[in-house]
Structure 1
């Protein structure tokens, strides 16, 4: 599973926002760092297939050898974590995880229980998400994303709303799970600590290397 950004350029009218030519290997984290409005989230939208029509896109996006540049979002097999965990409030913790499971999977409850155990949340399948802590919700959101069997993981500043102690813990958990699954990871952030913790290359949206 490799993510390739082949001469990907994104602009808004005459203004260039993104210019990247990079390959993200399985288990690698590529960090795109810059201030708000610099094009970071626009890049993730392009990879996920959700780029607004106002933006111009050129180049190719390849995932696991497939050109996904023009494919609809549902066919890309790209997982994404946001600043907010976006758990469904009308579903239990287990219901949230079940929502992501491919239909072909037989023993759904066993897979849900295994995912909760991996996240250190054993026995919480029937809990209301509103009763969980911020860190617990973040772990449920990640496991829901992984249960959908993505081929790449996009991180849109998912740690920014956590306090410092919980942020370091969840950050380590996310990167560890992504590496174990062999997923190429694209992280966008404005926080140097996130970039350092990722441990990979750090570029700005125009492809220029950054030193932390």
Structure 2
């Protein structure tokens, strides 16, 4: 094959960009069948005999489908591509944070006004994933918009600190855990996205709370 048929190196998608596109594609393709399942469950509930409660199994399926759809909607922004031109309204952000907390153990409160860029929301959701890892037994997170960035403050009865994992967000590269698992991938993804946006995040984790600022 001639060189003319090969795209120039600077036209090739970067690995990080390809991963984001794959994540967006997977989330997009999973949302539709989950929506169909949810609609089917609702129809089955509506056709129940008058005066009777739907079977608990059906209620459980409906709740699980709703939680899965909410989670995938968050993942689509957190791990998908984010253009600096795209913006989300406050109501859209509040809806995403409700989705983030749906079926989980975190309570998330938002203190922010106005629209936000999709790139900022992407970092915000990745940061919340990191806090969720630090608070596996649940807790409360206050998300504050403060010039010139964001501050996420989490409180809990106990946390699960992991300095080698948090070193991805800020710390010596030699301290970072390189063999991160799929359940921890949001840490290096957050670090890469923060660097791409020219941000220097800060973090702190103690026995009863955690904080991320960027």
Q: So what's the TM-score if we normalise by structure 2?
A: 0.28
Q: So what's the TM-score if we normalise by structure 1?
A: 0.28
Higher relative contact order (CA closer than 8 Å, sequence separation 6+): 1
Report the structure, 1 or 2, having the larger helix content.
2
Query: If you compute each CA radius of gyration, which structure gives the higher value, 1 or 2?
Result: 2
